[in-house]
Structure 1
Amino acid sequence: MRMTPIRVLAARAAMIIVMATAVASGSVTAPAPAPAHAVMPAEPGSLPASRLDSLGSLVDTAVTGYLADDRIPGAAVTVVAGGRTVLSKGYGVADVGRRTPVDPDRTGFFLGSLAKLFTAQAASQLVADGRVDPGADVNDSLRAVTVPDTYPGRPVTLHHLLTHTAGFDSDLVGRTKVRPEDVEPLAESLTVRRPPRVRPPGVVAAYDNYGYALAGQLVAEVSGRSFPAYIDEHVFKPQGMTRSTLAQPQPDAVAARLARGYRPDGSTGWVENRGQYGAWTPSGPGAVSTAADMGRWMTGRLAGASAADRLMRQVRYRQDPRSPGLGYGFEEWRRGGRTGWFKDGDISGFHSNLLLVPDRGVGVFVVFNGDGTDGRAGWNGKELIHRIVDALVPAGPVSAPAPAVDAAVDSYTGTYRPARVSRTGLMAVEGLVSAVTVERDGGSGLRTVGLSADPDRPEQRWSALGGGLFRERDAGGGTLAFTGDGLLVASATPSTAYERLAWHQSPALHAGLLLFGLGVLALGVIAFPATALLRRSRGRTGHPPGARAARALAATTGLAAVAFATALAAVVADGNRMMEMVPLGSALLTTVTVLGTVLVVLTPGLVAGALAAWLRGWWSLPGRLVFGCTAAAALATAVMLVHYHLVSAPLTRLTA
C-alpha cells in the first residue's frame, strides 16, 4: 500500500495540531550493522566491466550511510544486468533482538505495493490468453463481488483497475492486521469495506488500493484458484522464486526467515512495527519476497517478450500527453534522457523500490526493514536507485527545450490536492496536510511547496516551456503539466494527479478555522467558570437557569476541545507510528473521532445559547459578545470536523 510520505504528513500535521494543543492545553539498543552478505557477481552481460567493478563500493557506501544516519536496522539490494544478477547484498540486521543478519537469498521482506506488479502480471496473463477483456465491465467476470452502477453507462473495467483510474474513493483505515490468522477472505473484505465511487472511470489517475484488490479478486474468479495460489503457480514458480509468497500465514520455510520492520524509538533504539497483513493482498499487505527472488523476477521481466509483459510495459493511460504515463502495475520513469518502469511499496516498517530500464537491460531492487528517521527510508531507496542507474547507465545528451514565456503563468498558481485524498472517510484529513502550493517565481517561472518527496528539497522551482508545461530547474529534469480541466500532473507521480482547489477549499483556510475554533473553545474552560466564581465572590445576583446552563455547556465544550486536540496531537506526534496506526486502526484513532462527534453534538446547544443570550438579554454586552464568539468557534470547528470526517461513522453517514 502507498500513503503520503510520512515525513511530509507528520511535519505538516504536527505543526497544525501542536499549535492547536498549545492553545488548548498546555527500548532496544541499536546493534551495529552485520557484515553484508554478497552473491558473487555473475557474467557482466553488456555493461562495461569498469562500471560493474565500482558498483559494489558505491552500494556499500550508500547503504551503510543510510542505516547509520537514518537509524534503519537493515536493507537488501539486488541489481541485474545483461540477463544476470550482478550484485545481491544484505546489510544490517533482519531482527534487532536476535541480531540476525540480512541474507539476500533467505531473508523475506514485506513488499507493500510492489505486490501490485504481481497482480498486474497475473491479470495481463489472463488478458493475453483471451480469458478477460480489459475493456469490459468487471461485473461480467465477478460473482462474489459487485461494483455498483454509480455512473450509468460508464462501468469499471480491468483497464481502469490496473491504471488507477476506476474512480473509487481511498480509505485504508483499519485495513491491516497484526496476525495473518486474523485476515478475512478477500471477497468478504471487498464487499464489506468497499469505498464509494466518487468520480467516473477513466477521467483522473488517483492511486487506488481497492482497485488493485478488486483486480486480484477478478484473477481468482476467472482462474478458479485463490489469488495467492494463482500467483505462486503462474508468477513465482516459473521464475524460481521459491521464497516468495502471498499466502497468509506464510509457509514455514518463509515464515522462519522473515525480517521484522522497525521505527526509531528514543535516541538509540527501535520499536517493532505491526500491521503488515491484510485481506487486500493484491494491493500490498502480506506479500513477501527476498532480494534474490526479486532479482529473478526482474530478469524475467527484462527478458520477457510475452504479451503480458508488453501489456505491463506499455503506456496504457496518460493524464497529460506530455507527461509520463502508466503501464499495468508500473509507472513510466524518465531521468537524464533514460526511460524505464518504476514501482515503490510502503507498508508499516518496510519500504521497497524497483526500477527496470529495459533498453539497457538493467533492473534495481532496494528494500529497507525500517522507516528511518522522519520516514526517510522511502526516499533513500529512490535516491539509491538513481545513483546506481547513473553509475551503470550514464545519462546521454538531453536536448532540453529552451525556456519560454508563458503569459498564462498566473492562471496556474493556487492550491492543489492529490486526487487520491479521500472524500468520504477519515483519511480525508490527509487533504488538510498534503496540499501543494503553486506560486509565481519571476517572469514565467513557478515555485512549488509540498510536491517533492525529497526531504531536503521541500521547495522546487520550475521554468516555463510553454503551453502549461514546466521543467524543474536544478534536479533531475522533472516536469509539471497543467491541463485545461484544472489538474496538475507531476512527472514524479504519474499514478496520482492533483486537483485545483477553490479558495473556500483551501487547507490553509480550513486549518485556520480549526485552530481558531479549538483555541477559543479551550479558553472557555477557564473563562466561563472563572467569571461565574468572580460574580459569586462579589455577591452579584445569579443569572437565570438557562444562562447558567449555557455557560456550563460552553465550559464542557471547551474540555472536549482540549481532549480532542490532545488526542489528535498524539496521533500525529510520531509520523512513523502514524503510518502503522492508520491502516491498523487503534483506540486512539477511535478516541479522536468520538471526541470530534461530541464537539459536533454540543455545537447546536451553544448556538442556541448565543441566540437566547441576545433575545433575553443575558449578561452584559461584552458577555454576550464573548459567548457569541464561542458559539461561532464551535460552529467553525464542527464544520471542519464533519468536512474532514473526524467524527464517528454514523454521523458521517448522516451528513454525507
Structure 2
Amino acid sequence: MASLFTRWIALLSMLTMSATAATAQSSADLNPARAAVSASGTQTSTNGHAPASLTAADINAWLDGLLPYSLDAGGIAGAVVVVVKDGQVLTARGYGYSDMRSRVPVDPARTMFRPGSISKLFTWTAVMQQVEAGKIDLNRDINAYLDFRIPPSHGKPITMRHLMTHTGGFEETAKYLIVEKAGQKHPLGDVLKRWVPARIYAPGEMPAYSNYGASLAGYVVERVSGERFEDYVQRHIFAPLNMRHSSFEQPLPASLAPLLSKGYNVASEEPKPYEIIELSPAGALSSTGQDMARFMLAFLDNRGALMKPETRARMFADVNRPIPALPAMALGFYHEDRNGQVIVGHGGDTNWFHSDLHLLVNSNVGIYMSFNSAGKEAAAHVIRQRLFDQFMARYFPESGSERRTASTARDHGRLMVGHYVSSRASTSNWLRFIGLLGEVEVSQNSDDTITVSALLDPAGVPKRWREVAPFQWREVGGSGRLAARVEHGRVAAFSIAEFAPIILFLPAPADLDAGWIMPALLAALGIMLLTALAWPVVAGMRKVYGYRSPVSGRALLFDRVMRFTAVVALLVAAGWMGMIAAINTDVGLLDGRLDIWMRLIQLMEVAAILGTLVSVYNAYVVLRSPDRRWFAKIWSILVPVAGLFLTWVVLSMGLLTIGLDY
C-alpha cells in the first residue's frame, strides 16, 4: 500500500529511496534533463536535443533499452509498463518473469500484478459514481452513512471530502495491514469497527495519508449501494471497461489465480506468500497492464464510461494545496504537475509490488508501471521514479532557462535547519517511537544549499537543494522540487512535489525532537549498560581478591535492585529493537502474532519503572550514608536519573499501553 511498514521504518512518508542505481543509463543520464529555449525559439533540452516524439516505435526502443538491464541490476523479477495516448494503447510491455522458478514471462495482457494503493483510485471512482446517483454528499458527516460511529473530535465532523483528500485527521495505523492466511481475512465492516484510529488533527486541516480513511470510504459505498465493495467494483467499473483480468477479491477467484505474478523481495530469492490486504479498498486490487490501460483511457477519454465529464472535472480539480508552491490534492487523485503539464496520479506499494500511475491530462497521455519485487536495496523505488523522470524529460521537457540561486538562500536555508516529523504519524501507541526513529533532519551546506536526511540519491547520498525563489528549492542535478510554508517568520511545514498533497513535514515538538532525545536516550542506555556490566565484573574481582563489601542488609538489597533495573531496561530496549527489525523484514508479523511478545516487553517495562522508583530511594539512602564513596554516590544518582528518563520515553512514546491496537 502507499506506505508499508518497511519504508515507514526509514521514514513515515515513503520518501527514503536509497538504492543502487539500476538503469542502463550513465549517471549523468539518470538525472532528468531540464529544457531550455534555444535562440531560434525551439524547445530543447539542456543537451541541445529537441523532445523526442512519443510514438510506439520510440517508446518501445527507449523502454527496451532501459528496463531489461535495470531489472537485472536491481534484482527485480519482472515488470509491466503501459503507455496510452489519444485514446489508444501506445505500448504495453512486459519485462522479466512473473515466476522465476518456472520462467514464466510477464505478459501485459494476462499477468496480474498488485498495484497497492492505486486501488484507491477505484474506490474514489466508486464514491463519485454514488455522488452522481445522489446517495453520497461529499460535505455530509460521514456518520450518516455508517452503522457504527466515528467519535467526535476537534468539534468538526469528518466528511467524504475529507476522506478523499486525506484530511480526515486520523493517526497512522499498521496492525493487520497485511495478513497471509485466508482465514485471517474479515469482512470490511468488521475490520473498520475493530479499532477506530485516534484523530490527531482537526478535519480538513492537515494532509495525513490514511489507509483507514480510504477504506472507510469504500465501506460507505457498500452501505449506500447495498453491494459488497468487491462486487460493486466488479459490476460498475471492471465490467463497463471490459477489465476481465482485474479483481479486488482475496484470494483471487480460481479463474484468475493462475495469472497472478509471484511477489519477491529479490529475484534470486524464493517467492513470498500471497498478501491479503484487510483494508481492501485501500490496496487489494490485482490487475494486468492492459486492464490498467483501459482504466487510464476511461479517465483520459472522458466519454462517460465511468462517470459524467463534469464529475471527472471535479475529481481532477485542485481541492487542497498544503504548500502554495507545490502541487495540490484533487478528489482522490493527487497532482504531480510539472514541465507545464497538468498531471494527476497515484502510487502504490505492497510488500513486494511497487507501482505508479500518471495521467498527463492536457496531453491525453497516461503511463502505468508495476514491479513484482522490491529489489536490491529497494531498487524498485528508484527505478520507477527515474523511469517517470526520464519519460518526462524525453517527451515533455521543462521549458525555460535555468533559474538562478535566490539571494535569500543563506537566510532561508538557516531557517529550515532542524528536525521534522511526518504529518502521517501516530501519537497514541508505539508507532510514535517509529516516528522518532524516522525523523527528518534538515541541514545547511557551505554553498547555501540544504540537504534533507531522508531524501537520498541512488547512491544513498543526501540530495542537495538550491533555493530558486523564496522558500522554493530545486534538486541540484535533478528535477525534484521542495518548498516550505512560513508562518510568523518560522517554517511551519515543508514537503516535496511528489508528496506535498498527502504528507507534510512539521517542525518536531520538543517532546519528539530527536536532536536531543536520541543522544539522551543513548546516554541513558549507556549508563544502564555500564551498571549491568559492572555487576558481574565487580563480583568477580571481589571473589578473586577476597574483598568483602561493607554494604549489607537493606542497602545491599537496594543496590541489587538498582543493578537489576539496569538489566531489565536493557532487555526492554533490545526487545523493541528486535521487534522493529523483525517487522521491517516481514510486515506480515503485524497480524497480531507479536502481541504476546509486546505484552512481555511491557511487563518488563513495568518492572523497570518500579525498579527505578526503588533506585530513586536508594540514591537518597546512599547520599545520606557517610560510609559510601563519592563514586558510589554519583552513580546512585546517575542510574535513577537515567531510569526516570527511560520511563518518560516509554510513556511518552506509547511503548506502554493498555490496548494493543496500533
Task: Please give the TM-score of this superposition, normalised by the length of structure 2.
Answer: 0.85
Equivalent AA in structure 2 for residue 560 of structure 1: V
Deviation, structure 1 residue 166: 0.5
* Deviation of the 1:541 alpha carbon: 4.7
The aligned counterpart of 2:555 is 547
Q: Deviations over 1:477-513 (max 9, x none)?
A: 5131223271223222121111112455321322222
Q: Is the 8 A contact 2:535 2:563 kept in 1?
A: yes
Given that residues 179 and 277 in structure 1 are in contact (C-alpha distance below 8 angstroms), is that contact kept between their aligned partners in structure 2? Answer: yes
Q: Deviations over 1:39-60 (max 9, x none)?
A: xxxxxxxx98674312122222
The reply to whether residue 488 of structure 1 matches residue 490 of structure 2 is no
In structure 2, distance between residues paired with 1:645 and 1:171:
14
**1:533 offset after TM fit, Å?**
4.3
Structure 2: distance between partners of 1:172 and 1:444? 39
Q: How far apart are the structure 2 equivalents of 1:555 and 1:423? A: 32
What is residue 127 of structure 1 aligned with on the other side?
131
Q: 1:594 to 1:340 in 2, by over 3 A?
A: farther
Output the amino acid matched with 2:585: R
Match of 2:69 in 1: 65
Count of aligned pairs: 612
Give, in whole Å, the separation in 2 of the partners of 1:354 and 1:639: 44
1:249 correspondence with 2:251: yes
Corresponding residue for residue 636 of structure 2? 627
Query: SS where residue 376 of structure 1 aligns?
Result: helix
RMSD: 3.0
For 1:140, the equivalent position in structure 2 comes to 144
The equivalent position to 1:159 in structure 2, one of 158, 161, 183, is 161
Q: Which residue of 1 aligns with 2:658?
A: 650
Is residue 9–residue 430 contact of structure 1 (8 Å, CA) maintained in 2?
A: yes
Conservation of the 8 A alpha-carbon contact between 1:7 and 1:455: no
Please say which of residues 371-380 and 499-508 is displaced more in the overlay. 499-508
- Distance, in Å, in 2 between the alignment partners of 1:301 and 1:212 is 20
1:114 CA drift (Å): 0.9
* 8 Å contact kept, 1:567–1:588: no
The verdict on how the C-alpha distance between 1:443 and 1:524 changes in structure 2, with shifts beyond 3 A counting, is: closer
Query: Alpha-carbon deviation of 1:581?
Result: 4.0
Q: Distance in 1 between matches of 2:551 and 2:418?
A: 50
Q: Which residue of 2 aligns with 1:415?
A: 419
Contact 1:122/1:219 (8 A) holds in 2: yes
Q: For residue 233 of structure 2, give the secondary structure of its aligned residue in structure 1.
A: helix
For the structure 1 residues 323 and 393, does the alpha-carbon distance in structure 2 shift closer, same or farther, using more than 3 Å as the test? closer
**2:533 paired with 1:526:** yes
1:280 alignment partner in structure 2? 279
Q: Aligned equivalents of 1:443 and 1:99: distance in 2?
A: 51
The answer to whether residue 94 in structure 2 is matched with residue 90 in structure 1 is yes
Q: 1:9 to 1:226 in 2, by over 3 A?
A: same
Identity of aligned residues (%): 24
CA contact (8 A) 2:78 2:94 kept: yes
Residue identity in the other structure for 2:495: V
Q: 1:299 aligns with which of 289, 297, 301?
A: 297
* Partner AA of 2:548 in structure 1: R
- Deviation, structure 1 residue 396: 3.4
CA distance in 2: counterparts of 1:62 and 1:473, whole angstroms? 23
SS of corresponding position for 2:92: strand
Q: 1:331 is matched with which residue: 306, 329, 334?
A: 334
Q: How far apart are 1:444 and its partner, in Å?
A: 6.5
Question: Aligned in 2, Cα 1:539/1:443: closer, same or farther, shift over 3 Å?
Answer: closer
Residues 1:222 and 2:221 aligned together: no
1:366 aligns to 2:369 (yes or no): yes
CA–CA separation in structure 2 for the residues paired with 1:320 and 1:357: 21
2:2 corresponds to which residue?
A: 2
The equivalent residue for 1:509 is 516
For residue 79 of structure 1, give the secondary structure of its aligned residue in structure 2.
strand
- Structure 1 residue 578, shift from structure 2 partner: 4.8
3-state DSSP of counterpart to 1:262: coil
Counterpart position of 1:613:
622
Tell me how far apart the structure 2 counterparts of residues 119 and 325 of structure 1 sit (CA, whole Å).
20
Name structure 2 gaps, 5 residues minimum: 13-50
Instruction: Give the match for residue 349 of structure 2.
Output: 346
Query: In the superposition, relative to structure 1, how do residues 237 and 411 fare at CA in structure 2: closer, same or farther (>3 Å)?
Result: same
Query: CA, structure 1 residues 627+302, in 2 after alignment: closer, same or farther (shift >3 Å)?
Result: same
Distance 1:455 1:227 in 2: 42
| Structure 1 segment 397-416 matched on structure 2, within 5 A | 397=400, 403-405=406-408, 410-416=414-420
> Deviations for 1:223-259, whole angstroms, at most 9, x for unmatched residues?
1111111111111111111111112232112222222
Matched, 1:637 2:646: yes
Q: 1:440 to 1:530 in 2, by over 3 A?
A: closer
How far apart are the structure 2 equivalents of 1:414 and 1:116?
34
Residue 87 of structure 1 and its aligned partner are, at CA, apart by 1.4
Are 2:356 and 2:370, in contact at CA under 8 Å, matched by a contact in 1? Answer: yes
Identify if the C-alpha distance between structure 1 residues 359 and 62 changes in structure 2 by more than 3 Å, giving closer, same or farther. same
Q: Which amino acid aligns with 1:131?
A: K
Matches of 1:96 and 1:593, distance apart in 2: 43
Match of 1:313 in 2: 316
Letter in 1 for 2:372: N
Hey, what does 1:289 align to over in structure 2? Answer: 287
Q: 1:559 to 1:96 in 2, by over 3 A?
A: farther
Equivalent in the alignment of 1:556:
564
Secondary structure of the residue that 1:318 maps to in structure 2?
Answer: coil
| Distance in structure 2 (CA, Å) of the matches to 1:623 and 1:111 | 61
User: Aligned partners of 1:193 and 1:455: how far apart in 2?
Assistant: 41
Q: Structure 1 residues 357, 542: CA separation in 2 closer, same or farther (over 3 Å shift)?
A: same
Q: CA deviation at 1:66?
A: 2.5
SS of match in other structure, 2:634: helix
Q: Which runs of 5+ in 1 are unaligned?
A: 13-46
Amino acid at match of 2:553: P
Distance in 2 of aligned mates of 1:272 and 1:562:
36
Task: Out of 583-592 and 120-129, give the one that drifted further.
Answer: 583-592
Q: What amino acid is aligned across from residue 615 of structure 2 in structure 1?
A: L
Q: Is the 8 A contact 2:4 2:351 kept in 1?
A: no
Q: Quick one: which of 360, 380, 384 aligns to 1:381?
A: 384
Pairwise CA distance, 1:162: 0.6
Instruction: Return the match for 2:179 from 177, 180, 183.
Output: 177
- Whether the 8 Å contact between 2:178 and 2:590 is mirrored in structure 1 is no
Query: Is the CA contact (8 Å cut-off) linking 1:10 and 1:572 kept in structure 2?
Result: no
Query: 2-side partners of 1:80 and 1:138: how far apart?
Result: 36
* 2:115 and 2:353 in contact (8 A); partners too: yes
Cα distance, 1:111–1:302 mapped onto 2, change above 3 Å: same
Partner in structure 1 of residue 37 of structure 2 = none
2:394 pairs, out of 388, 391, 395, with 391
CA distance 1:428–1:578, shift in 2 (3 Å): farther
Kept in 2: contact 1:175–1:584 (CA 8 A): no
Given the superposition, is the C-alpha separation of residues 443 and 522 from structure 1 closer, same or farther in structure 2, using an over 3 Å criterion?
closer
Q: Which residue identity lines up with residue 216 of structure 1 in the other structure?
A: G
Partner amino acid, structure 2, of 1:342? G
Letter in 2 for 1:290: T
Q: Please say if residues 618 and 624 of structure 1, whose CA atoms lie closer than 8 Å, have aligned partners that are also in contact.
A: no
Residue 482 of structure 1 aligns to a residue whose secondary structure is strand
Preserved CA contact (<8 Å) 2:344 2:360: yes
Q: Deviations over 1:510-557 (max 9, x none)?
A: 222222222221222220233244345434255233333333333433
> What is the deviation of 1:341?
0.9
| Structure-2 separation of matches of 1:116 and 1:175 | 15
Between 535-544 and 474-483, the greater mean CA deviation after superposition: 535-544
The one-letter code sitting in structure 1 at the alignment partner of 2:382 is: W
User: TM-score when scaled to structure 1?
Assistant: 0.85
What is the DSSP-based 3-state SS (H/G/I as helix, E as strand, rest coil) of the residue aligned with 2:366? strand
Deviations 1:76-97 (A, max 9, x none): 1111112111211222222233
**Judging changes above 3 Å, is the alpha-carbon distance between structure 1 residues 521 and 56 closer, same or farther for their aligned structure 2 residues?**
same
